[in-house]
Amino acid sequence: MSTDPYAEEFVPEAKRTTRVNVRCGNCGRLLAEKVTAPWRIKCSRCKCVNESAALSAPARSLGGKAMKRVAAARRGDGRQQ
């Protein structure tokens, strides 16, 4: 087990990403007004665990269907081409 689970010794606090008004991804409840990554918050209403993206997440390529879904979501129309 790591003694520094949030990698605080590697990334200075001034360079971490800060989010304002973090809401639950499931029910929309306001979880925090200001939070600096990395964070992990459990919603008291629906018990959903919300967390920041990993700092060093490996990049992975998406398959054909997943790429079409991402493109449709970015367009906002919900249809696939």
Mean pLDDT of 41-48: 93
46 or 79, which is more confident? 46
Report whether 35 contacts 18 (CB < 8 A). yes
Residues, the chain: 81
The pLDDT score that the predictor gives to residue 72 is 79
Single out the residue of 42, 40, 2, 35 nearest to residue 16, CA to CA. 35
Is residue 20's pLDDT more than 70? Answer: yes
Is residue 32's pLDDT more than 50? Answer: yes
Phi, psi of 64 (to 5 degrees): -60, -50
79 or 65, which is more confident? 65
The pLDDT score that the predictor gives to residue 54 is 60
Question: pTM here?
Answer: 0.50
